[in-house]
Amino acid sequence: MNHSDRIVALTRNKIKVIDPVEALIIRSWERCLDSYRLDPEAKRHEPIVIERQTLTDHQDQVTELLGDFVQEEMSLLYQRIASSGHSVILTDRNGIILNYVGDPALSQQFAQAGLRPGAVWSEKEEGTNGIGTCLHEKQAVTICREEHFRAQHTQLTCSASPIFDSQGELLAILDVSTLNSRDSKQIHQHTAALVRMSAKLIENLGFLRQWRHQWIVRFHSRAEYVGHVGEGLIVVNENGQILASNQNALTQLDLNRRDALLQRRLTDVFNTPLSALMAWAGRQANHVCLLQELAQGRSYYALLRTPQFPTATAILCRQPAHVSTTTLCNEAMTAVNETYTCINLANLAGRDPRMAANMRYAQKVMNKGIAILLQGETGTGKEALAKSIHEASQRANKPFVALNCAAIPESLIESELFGYKHGAFTGARREGMRGKILQSHEGTLFLDEIGDMPLALQTRLLRVLEEREVLPLGCEQAIPVKLNIISATHHQLGDLIASGKFREDLYYRLNGITLSLPPLRKRTDLDHLIRCVLAMENGDGQAVHISSDAFELLLRYDWPGNIRQLRNVLRTALALCTQQTIMVEDLPTEITGVSAFDSCQWIYGSAKGELPLTGVQVAVDAPAMESVDSVNGDNVLKSAERNVMLQELERHRWNITNTAASLKMSRNTLYRKMKKHGIALPSTH
């Protein structure tokens, strides 16, 4: 069957199609046949190319909206995937090619194929193709060889991803095209993932640029992702009214429509007014603060970016360094490279017996090639411990290489971990890539969030561990590797094994010894740790004090975010306090709220014959609470009760039985109180 007959047979349902990707292509073919009346076998034609001056105008328009860094990001993407036959292309929303980065030796061939600045690659002109079909579908697509409608384009393979403006309108397309690739579509998924990430990055940077004269709240449910490609962005004016948001913000907040945010006030969405964020940004520009979303009580970390006025010299929030795709893939590494100046194996234990036992075991096994598994809730210090073990070991002068299995897309983990040979697949770098396993040769490989590793990769990893050699993609010869693995997880791997999500044999390989890090609320040396972390955060600054009331609250708080949260809270408190003394009012409501809730529970609960909550009975001055919440006393108590419930629900991952038990109330009472406070169970917990 020739190209044309195949298209017609598939489009007219003469061959059944099940795959949704194919369905997208069939839709496009239908448009080409029925709406644009194109002929797949039409004799070779030249794409329309717009005039030079018009092209310059189009380029200026897009550069004005997206900024100069587009070219830089395109070059970075090109370097990452550089191999013969690739070019990185930017088009505007009409499919006009604006910029092109590619191998100069091949530019002639690309130009002959019609891929040159000024050429129009809309579907209407060129039939089904990466750029045109992406424009129409407004989603990332990969169009491989015969999937192109025009027979003359079947030498091309293109992965394209849309770039939207802050109103959600399509602005541009980022595309990577290659000529005469013989790889399967599946193999192109690696390139497609990189294109999607770069497009998202350009979109975010364009967003920040477009709204550079307004306040922007940058947030994510994980502190380390603020400033990265997945962060949510919400623009507010000085009255706290929301002007725009990016798609990530909607995804993070579980909203499906942009207008669900527009024209609302920041305080309709989060528990913190803009004024509080401004005060924070003025004093502690570089650090994230904790926000609570009102609808479901989820916590987010946020940075406020101050408006950039031409003369601004004073308070400027952190403008994260240019985040390239490479940094995204190395997220785990970035986290490990945080300054742990005063954390080492000797002082990590603090004065907690369980931690001290962990350190003793670590000392005993760290030079014996025994795999160490670190288990603990988020923020308990697993990465810090892994790094300290490496630094205390005999391989301290060898590399410490980290991979966060949950932070990078599934399609990229394989090549990040195992590496690949030059030309292993479309998008492979010319010189190939060594992969984290080989990079860590003789050093330590730290596999964070191992519970999130896809099953297929678990099998490959197991083979590497058993055979002590690695076979990068596209290589025929395995390379011997000397591996020392430390892995970490917040999951109970036993549960994952029971549900078939984790291989039991891999678990035994990784678990030469398990070190369980206690949550902060169970550490016996919390007082000592608070002092250490405070000293660490204070750096070389003047001596700092904590009032006994504030210290008491810190000791009694449950710390769902563990040491990470403790660091953040103390950072904020340090920034807010006056005369180097941290007072109750310098602490966030989720901490001060506990005491108010307890007294409120004591008042209301006893009247209804219910037990008081956790037994915490710390008196906090009502004015302090009022100044935080700016509400009357009754509301303070209600809001405190709500806060504590949300916090406990979050801590127990919205398990009603466990939350009710920890709050010492029946499940029915918990449901009743949740209803009273308008707390709904999130669907994804």
* Under 8 Å between Cβ of 277 and 302: yes
Closest CA to 595 of 554, 632, 563: 554
Residues 6+ positions from 373 with CB-CB distance below 8 Å:
450, 486, 487, 488, 489, 493, 510, 511, 512, 513, 514, 515
Alpha-carbon gap, residue 29 to 13, rounded angstroms: 12
Q: Which is nearer to ligand ATP, 92 or 377 (CB)?
A: 377
Is 126 near ligand ATP (CB under 6 A)?
Answer: no
Residues 6+ positions from 520 with CB-CB distance below 8 Å:
379, 380, 526, 529, 559, 562, 563, 565, 566
Q: Which is nearer to ligand ATP, 297 or 381 (CB)?
A: 381
Among 226, 303, 563, 583, binds ligand ATP (CB under 6 A): 563
Closest CA to 403 of 453, 442, 341: 453
- Strand residues in 34-155 grouped as ranges (E): 86-92, 97-102, 141-144
Q: Which is nearer to ligand ATP, 348 or 483 (CB)?
A: 348
Identify any residues that bridge with 486 across adjacent strands, giving them in sequence order: 372, 446
Q: Which of residues 370-399 bind ligand ATP (CB under 6 A)?
A: 376, 378-384
* Under 8 Å between Cβ of 435 and 470: yes
Q: How far is the CB of 489 from ligand ATP (least distance, A)?
A: 8
Q: Which is nearer to ligand ATP, 260 or 396 (CB)?
A: 396
| x/- map, 329-358, ligand ATP, by CB under 6 A | ------x--x-x--x----x----------
Alpha-carbon gap, residue 295 to 635, rounded angstroms: 17
| x/- map, 507-546, ligand ATP, by CB under 6 A | -------------------------xx--x----------
Retrieve residue 156's tokens: 């091309």
Q: How far is the CB of 648 from ligand ATP (least distance, A)?
A: 20
**CA distance to 163, 337, 405, per residue, from 402 (Å):** 31, 10, 9
| x/- map, 567-586, ligand ATP, by CB under 6 A | x-------------------
Retrieve residue 45's tokens: 């034609």
* Under 8 Å between Cβ of 216 and 237: no
Sheet containing strand 485-489, strands side by side: 400-404, 444-448, 485-489, 372-375, 513-516
Q: Which residue is nearest to ligand ATP (CB)?
A: 381
* Under 8 Å between Cβ of 438 and 481: yes
Q: How far is the CB of 356 from ligand ATP (least distance, A)?
A: 12
Q: Which is nearer to ligand ATP, 97 or 328 (CB)?
A: 328
Q: Which is nearer to ligand ATP, 533 or 596 (CB)?
A: 533
Q: Which is nearer to ligand ATP, 378 or 614 (CB)?
A: 378
Q: How far is the CB of 196 from ligand ATP (least distance, A)?
A: 24
Alpha-carbon gap, residue 214 to 207, rounded angstroms: 11
Q: Which of residues 224-283 bind ligand ATP (CB under 6 A)?
A: none
| x/- map, 404-443, ligand ATP, by CB under 6 A | ----------------------------------------
Q: Which is nearer to ligand ATP, 40 or 519 (CB)?
A: 519
Q: Which is nearer to ligand ATP, 642 or 652 (CB)?
A: 652
Q: Which of residues 470-509 bind ligand ATP (CB under 6 A)?
A: 488, 490
How many residues belong to the chain?
A: 685
**CA distance to 547, 565, 627, 630, per residue, from 587 (Å):** 11, 12, 12, 15
- Count of residues engaged in binding ligand ATP, rule: CB under 6 A: 22
* Under 8 Å between Cβ of 253 and 269: yes
Q: How far is the CB of 566 from ligand ATP (least distance, A)?
A: 8
Q: Which residues lie near ligand ATP (CB under 6 A)?
A: 335, 338, 340, 343, 348, 376, 378-384, 448, 488, 490, 532-533, 536, 563-564, 567
